[in-house]
Amino acid sequence: MRIDKKDVARLLEGLSDTRWIGPWPVAKSYKILDGVIYADDPQSVGGVIYGDDPQEDPLRGRDAFGDSDLFFSFARLGARGEPSESSLLRWVSEHGLLRQENDGQGPWKWPSTEVNQAPTTVANFRAEVLCARQLLALYMDIKEENFEALQCKIYGTHEKRHLSSYWPHTPDTDLEKYLAKHRDVHISLRESLVKLLVTAPAYEPEPDKIERWDVSVALAALQDIVKDRLSDVRLDFDHDWAGSQTLASDYRIPRSFDCPDLLSAMYLQFYLLITDFEPVRRCQNPACGLPFPATRKNKRFCNATCRSNARNYR
């Protein structure tokens, strides 16, 4: 799934250079050993951070937030079910691991050029992938008013964790834990609401009030998980802006964000997308089904790969 350059420009209007919103180095190599993904060679692919070589690009592999496909490429890892270790390793080798190893030290291990990324288990990485897909699906079910699907997720009436497959080696996601923790309360309150509407019907049709309750529960779950992923993101300013202004400038200071790791940069993209109120639709490739910005009325697939793969389902 891809948000094109025009979409990114619209979402980031008024923000500073995206390279400083979510800078995230990529190590030269990663490996998986005993179920753990780690940086095998933690030296950054960008080499020295501030070198004398004019050909050296110190920001190479660092502009996490500026990659418009970042969040969706992560969610696509689970398009065919539980992703293999090799597919996870390919994605990590391109984008890096998700979190810092030492909080407060930044993405680099100063003064060296080693990346500061925490190893993670394959199981936990898969759980993050599955959670991203579940949140996208939940968002689309809310937006499309798919009340049956919402009820299945909220009240546990659907045994499948994902539309295309089961994830046997993946622990419960944060969304699943949230819904399970509050399920008894939600069921009890919903039953009380149904009884109330039967005994004292209001002006609105009964189904409408029940459906609105289900939507409010789903929204609360979506917002709580996304807020948790954004809890360490801070408002910021473009610190290089002043030196680039002329005397004729109106001195409107550009706003920015400070994302401490790759995971928060991904979810900031998702947050901006779902709060932007722009039309989106689901990819019509049955193996994908992820939402994408509806920039054209006749666009049915999120990218060329999904358009090609959809032929297998005809």
pLDDT(23) > 50: yes
Going by pLDDT thresholds of 50, 70 and 90, the confidence category of residue 90 is very high
Q: How far apart are CA 11 and CA 271, in angstroms?
A: 10
Hey, which residues does 281 pair with through a beta bridge? 292
Q: With bands split at pLDDT 50, 70 and 90, how would you rate the model's confidence at 107?
A: confident
Whether the pLDDT of residue 291 is over 80: the answer is no
Cβ atoms of 184 and 156 within 8 Å: the answer is: no
Query: What are 228-284's pLDDT values in tens digits?
Result: 999 999 988 876 655 555 545 566 677 788 999 999 999 999 998 888 755 667 777
Is 180:186 a contact under the CB 8 Å cutoff?
Answer: no
Per cent of the chain over pLDDT 70 is: 74
Q: Determine the Cα–Cα distance for residues 311 and 80; give it in Å rounded to an integer.
A: 16
The SS3 of residue 204 is coil
CB neighbourhood size of 297 (10 A): 7
Least Cα distance to 117 among 305, 261, 271, 299 occurs for: 261
Tokens of 89: 């390793």
Q: How far is CA 266 from CA 99, 148, 205, 234, in A?
A: 11, 29, 40, 14
- Output the pLDDT for position 313: 62
pTM for this model (two decimals): 0.81
The pLDDT confidence band at residue 110, using thresholds 50, 70 and 90, is confident
Tokens found for residue 145: 């008013």
List, for residues 123-144, the tens digit of each pLDDT value: 999 999 999 999 999 998 998 8
Alpha-carbon distances, residue 299 vs 33, 74, 136, 188 (angstroms): 42, 22, 19, 42
Residues 6+ apart with CB under 8 A from 275: none
How far is the CA of 250 from the CAs of 12, 169, 245, 246, 267, in angstroms? 20, 56, 9, 9, 32
Is the pLDDT at 55 greater than 50? The verdict is: no
Question: What value does the mean pLDDT of the chain take?
Answer: 81
What average pLDDT score do residues 30-47 get? 91
Mean pLDDT of the 112-120 span: 91
Least confident of 192-196, 198-202, 253-257: 198-202
Among the ranges 117-126, 131-140, 302-311, which has the highest mean pLDDT value?
117-126
